[in-house]
Amino acid sequence: MPTLLAPLHQHWHSGKQKMASTKKVFDLVIIGAGMMGSAAAYHSSQIPGTSVCLVGPSEPKVRKEHEIFGCWFDEGRICCRVHEKHTWSVLSSRSIQRYREIEKQTGLNFYSNVGNIQCLEKKEEFESLLQMNQQMTASAEDVSKKWNDIYPFFNFPDDIYILQEKVNAGHISPREQVRAHQTAALQHGTEIVRKIVSTVTPADNPDYKYAGHRILF
Ligand SMILES: Cc1cc2nc3c(=O)[nH]c(=O)nc-3n(C[C@H](O)[C@H](O)[C@H](O)COP(=O)(O)OP(=O)(O)OC[C@H]3O[C@@H](n4cnc5c(N)ncnc54)[C@H](O)[C@@H]3O)c2cc1C
């Protein structure tokens, strides 16, 4: 029997706790099946020989008071490569590069590669974005002088600074992205448990069904 770091005690909606018949021990248990947890399940499930369990409820069909909220219960997330911080720019760029691959693998489309613009009032902030654009070789363009021709339907002030990323930027559907990551994770053997975790306990109680060598919250 391997050493358990923290078996999980699940919250059972019936109110009565069930005894576990057989304990399932995973290399990694991820708590929270939202945007981060689902992506983590997908990526970790690709590590050879690693068993992964993702725990968390689906989006509720009807929202009630006190229900756990997930930041992915909607259809719009902006994504672009050029950000103020270098780390953010690198992570965004790497994520966007993988979107089509995950879509192909799962047959679920979540990414619209329609471009993005950022509007800034402060010249210093705009210049730091331009620097980041260069550093990332992201091919964004300064359209501060011509936005009116490109986007006649916008009404920005004349002294606004605008950076346009025509490609490798746009928006995603967080709902569909979560679904795609979970589908890909399932394809790689992840077990998904649709429960709310209420307690994480040390390893010496035989009553709990799910356990992990590592727990990611
Ligand atoms: C309206 C809105 C607009 C946003 N726009 C953007 C944007 O344009 N671009 C961008 O990059 N980011 C945006 N964000 C931020 C982005 O959505 C979040 O950073 C991201 O969803 C965080 O991921 P997460 O997995 O940490 O949390 P979530 O996606 O919220 O997932 C957490 C999950 O954990 C589950 N959970 C919680 N407690 C438990 C428990 N006890 N047991 C089991 N499961 C549990 C929840 O059910 C949920 O599914 C936006 C957020 C919101 C709300």
More reliable by pLDDT, 205 or 28: 28
Report DSSP letters for 158-205, one per residue. Answer: TT-EEEEE-SS-EEE-HHHHHHHHHHHHHHTT-EEE--EEEEE--TT-
What is the token pair recorded at 1? Answer: 């029997």
Q: Average of pLDDT values for 90-94?
A: 97
The shares of helix, strand and coil residues in the chain, as percent rounded to the nearest 5, are 30, 25, 45
Nearest ligand 1 atom to the CA of 195 is 43
Look at ligand 1, atom 6, and give the residue with the nearest C-alpha: 77
Q: Quote the Cα angle for 50-44-54, to 5°.
A: 90
Q: In this predicted structure, what is the pLDDT of residue 122? A: 97
Q: Average of pLDDT values for 169-184?
A: 98
Any ligand 1 atom below 6 A from CB of 70: yes
Q: What SS3 state is found at 123?
A: helix
CATH 3.40.367.20 correct for 1-75+175-217 = no
Q: In this predicted structure, what is the pLDDT of residue 20? A: 53
Nearest ligand 1 atom to the CA of 38 is 25
pTM: 0.89
Only one residue has tokens 């590590």, namely 47
Q: In this predicted structure, what is the pLDDT of residue 5? A: 43
Pocket test for ligand 1, best of 38, 77, 82, 88 (most atoms within 8 A of CB): 77
Q: In this predicted structure, what is the pLDDT of residue 3? A: 36
Nearest ligand 1 atom to the CA of 74 is 1
Residues of the chain with pLDDT > 70, as a percent, come to 89
Residue type, 174: P
More reliable by pLDDT, 185 or 205: 185
Angstrom distance (rounded) from CA 57 to CA 21: 22
Any ligand 1 atom below 6 A from CB of 34: yes
User: Is 176 a residue whose pLDDT tops 50?
Assistant: yes
Angstrom distance (rounded) from CA 131 to CA 82: 9
Distance 94 CA to ligand 1 centre (A): 20
Pocket test for ligand 1, best of 11, 43, 71, 77 (most atoms within 8 A of CB): 71
Report DSSP letters for 66-115, one per residue. Answer: TPPP-TTSSS-EEE-S--SSHHHHHHHHHHHHHHHHHHHHHT---EE---
Per-residue pLDDT tens digits for 97-111? 999 999 999 999 999
For the chain, give every domain's residue range.
1-75+175-217, 77-172
User: Is 78 a residue whose pLDDT tops 50?
Assistant: yes
Contact 156, 119 (CB under 8 A): yes
Q: In this predicted structure, what is the pLDDT of residue 203? A: 66
Per-residue pLDDT tens digits for 3-61? 344 444 444 333 334 445 677 899 999 999 999 999 999 999 999 999 999 999 999 98
Contact 171, 76 (CB under 8 A): yes
**Which H or E run includes 213?**
strand 210-216
